[in-house]
Structure 1
Amino acid sequence: MQQPKTINWGIIGLGNIANKFAHDLLKVENAKLYAVASRNLNKASEFAKNYNIAHAYGNYQALVEDPNIDAVYIATPHAFHNEHTILCLNHKKAVLCEKPFAMNLGEVEEMIATAKANNTLLMEAMWTYFLPHYQFVLQHIKDETFGKIVKIEADFGFKPEIDMTSRVFDKSLGGGSLLDIGIYPIFAALSTLGEPIHIESKATFFDNDVDSSCLMLFSYDNGVEAHLKSTLLEKTPTEAIFYCERGTIKINSRFHGPSNVTLISEGKEETIDFDVTTNGYYYEALHFNQLLRDGKKESDVMTFDFSKKLIKLLDTVRSQIGLKYE
């Protein structure tokens, strides 16, 4: 049997998430972390040394011009996703771009149009979609194991050290709770209930006009609601709970990453573990590699349509709370 083609990866943006992704990519068969790039060559060289990567570049242009690279993982701050994705696509590099895909729907549509114009694979890196526990939950919801969903509660909160120069708090980089972590509760609602018919949002803000917390209520037909929360002011359970007609499906902390699931029905509880031995980025990388080998230009899981719906919801919430990025 013929060995699958080895996919040569590059990474642009070498922060915390890039480290986790790199660690997981080393465990993916027939994938090679071939090159990394930072605006700081020393940082790129140090990163490359840590993961035994052959090539380190001090600018992004050099990486996209490397003919041996098949795919690029973009882990730069939100505000640069559009620019860096288009740079890669115009050099025919398949792109896995961190969430949020971009800053607004217009940017996302431009990225998708560029991918289509270059006939090149593009996918938003919403890693949660590919995790075993989340696929398990989606299957139970689809099968209506406990009937239809009547309510969702999903939250994500942590309390970072206040440093207004860090990416999380920097408005020019798309900082704030909504785009950074609020996207996950919104994703939980969109992936299970679809688009709401009504949205109510309210937020609190830091002194620099970056949102510190956000409460969102999504309303659906038949009185179904999703109560969603993101905050940088406190540590919250960070769970996703799906209340159904005959039982409850609860993704335990932290629901967006590798976790376990508790099924509650008729007074009984069962918790299922999934024995994930990686950071969890392994699964989206595996999926992306297969898309690339199969010649696909769009994911059948994290579709362009889904990414557009997700960013539209973020845009709507931003508009309601008065959060403007220049």
Structure 2
Amino acid sequence: MDTVKIGIIGTGWIAEKMAITLMGMKGVEAYAVASRQLQTARDFAEKWGFTRAYGSYEEMLADEKVELVYIATPHSHHYEHARMSLLHDKAVLCEKAFTSNARQAEELLNLAKEKNLFITEAIWTRYMPLSQTINEIIASDIIGRPMTLSANLGYPIGNRERLRQPALSGGALLDLGVYTLNFASMIFGTEIENIASTCIKTDTGVDAQNSITLIFKDGKIAVLHSTMLSMTDRQGIISGEKGHIIVENINNPQRVTVVTEDYQTIAVYNCPPQITGYEYQVYASIDALKNRWLESPFMPHAETLRIMRLMDNLRKEWGVRYPSDE
């Protein structure tokens, strides 16, 4: 497996970001792209240097040369397109949120296991080197035992149709809140004892912004906020009795600053050079394929399913329903 041929389902902006990524990577070929309109796929392929363009997803999946499929369609379509890929015996890298709900996620993971195929969630922050650095800093005990955490992520993107419509699994939670939940999970783990939350909904019935407080069994507290109505500082702050850590942009960490108990900066870790940040999830997927793993150690299936169930429960509490929930 010297060069892995990658196919992309979808031609939107996130597909373009992946195309830019593949152009700068080694050991991969931007091989195929599929759209519901052949001309759209051809335009995309010509712009980004893809070898093949297909006017249907099934046609691309029937191409035996495609080794890894990246799902870049809206949340509401992830289940359908990932399932279709698995049924064509393709390994899958599926954009976050993995599916619209936990039931769909569980069905996909079971199907992948049944067919002995690799599948993983493309929650890029899980795969980034700086995310690993944060845990190493905490393990060094330089800030003492971390007990509180805050994280926020927000952009003024509430006018986008895919985020406004329940039929497209819209809302801030699946698009942005998934990052804050993953940030808290990467730092504090999985032993959540209680959750308190609230949200403000749009006139279409999805969450426009939300606040989530996670209380862990060992007394740790994580306070999370996501919004599609305003631009936030995107910071994550992890605090212990001997200092705190400031993470700039939890969506793609650019700098990690360590501050002592007397508020003096003692260390700064900058993001290593990157193409877009997407390359790490692709390389992790390639490693898994080479090792014949069915999941990535960076984002285990159990974590994907746990986060999906967590978001299901939050939406249920808020009264945010998708057609796929029925």
TM-score by length of 1: 0.95
Select 2:50's aligned residue among 53, 56, 79.
Answer: 53
Amino acid paired to 2:50: I
Amino acid paired to 2:163: V
Select 2:233's aligned residue among 237, 244, 256.
Answer: 237
Amino acid paired to 1:322: G
Q: State the match for 1:76 in structure 2.
A: 73
Amino acid paired to 1:300: P
Q: Please tell me whether the aligned partners of residues 28 and 285 of structure 1 are also in contact (alpha carbons under 8 angstroms).
A: no
3-state SS in 2 of match to 1:8: strand
| CA distance in 1: counterparts of 2:255 and 2:230, whole angstroms | 23
Q: State the match for 2:162 in structure 1.
A: 167
User: Structure 1, residues 231-269: CA drift from partner, whole Å, max 9, x if none?
Assistant: 1121111111111221111111x2211411111114321
3-state SS in 1 of match to 2:175: helix
Q: Please tell me whether the aligned partners of residues 163 and 170 of structure 2 are also in contact (alpha carbons under 8 angstroms).
A: yes
For these two proteins, the number of residue pairs brought into alignment is 320
Q: State the match for 1:227 in structure 2.
A: 223
Amino acid paired to 2:144: G
Select 1:150's aligned residue among 147, 150, 170.
Answer: 147
| CA distance in 2: counterparts of 1:298 and 1:41, whole angstroms | 32
Q: State the match for 1:200 in structure 2.
A: 196
Return the offset for 1:227: 0.5
Q: Please tell me whether the aligned partners of residues 258 and 276 of structure 1 are also in contact (alpha carbons under 8 angstroms).
A: no
Q: Please tell me whether the aligned partners of residues 211 and 323 of structure 1 are also in contact (alpha carbons under 8 angstroms).
A: yes
Select 1:109's aligned residue among 106, 110, 123.
Answer: 106
Select 2:20's aligned residue among 23, 36, 42.
Answer: 23
| CA distance in 1: counterparts of 2:307 and 2:203, whole angstroms | 28
| CA distance in 2: counterparts of 1:83 and 1:222, whole angstroms | 39
Q: State the match for 1:188 in structure 2.
A: 183
3-state SS in 1 of match to 2:162: coil
CA-atom RMSD in angstroms: 1.3
How do 1:1-326 residues align onto structure 2 when only pairs under 5 Å count?
5-160=2-157, 162-163=159-160, 166-195=161-190, 196-252=192-248, 254-266=249-261, 267-269=263-265, 270-326=267-323
| Residues 142 and 91 of structure 1: CA distance in aligned 2, closer, same or farther (over 3 Å) | farther
Return the offset for 1:192: 1.5
- Greater shift, 272-281 or 228-237, is seen at 272-281
| CA distance in 2: counterparts of 1:152 and 1:276, whole angstroms | 27
User: Structure 1, residues 148-199: CA drift from partner, whole Å, max 9, x if none?
Assistant: 2110100011112624xx2121221111101110101111111211231101
User: Structure 1, residues 177-236: CA drift from partner, whole Å, max 9, x if none?
Assistant: 011101011111112112311011111011111111111010113432110001112111
Return the offset for 1:141: 2.4
3-state SS in 1 of match to 2:2: coil
| CA distance in 2: counterparts of 1:110 and 1:9, whole angstroms | 24
Q: Please tell me whether the aligned partners of residues 158 and 229 of structure 2 are also in contact (alpha carbons under 8 angstroms).
A: no
TM-score by length of 2: 0.95
| CA distance in 2: counterparts of 1:145 and 1:173, whole angstroms | 44
Q: Please tell me whether the aligned partners of residues 158 and 208 of structure 2 are also in contact (alpha carbons under 8 angstroms).
A: no
| CA distance in 1: counterparts of 2:257 and 2:60, whole angstroms | 44
Return the offset for 1:275: 3.0
| CA distance in 2: counterparts of 1:161 and 1:198, whole angstroms | 29
Q: Please tell me whether the aligned partners of residues 215 and 229 of structure 1 are also in contact (alpha carbons under 8 angstroms).
A: yes
Unaligned runs of 5+ in 1: none
Amino acid paired to 2:164: F
Unaligned runs of 5+ in 2: none
Q: Please tell me whether the aligned partners of residues 247 and 253 of structure 2 are also in contact (alpha carbons under 8 angstroms).
A: no
3-state SS in 2 of match to 1:145: coil
Q: Please tell me whether the aligned partners of residues 214 and 221 of structure 2 are also in contact (alpha carbons under 8 angstroms).
A: yes
3-state SS in 1 of match to 2:69: strand
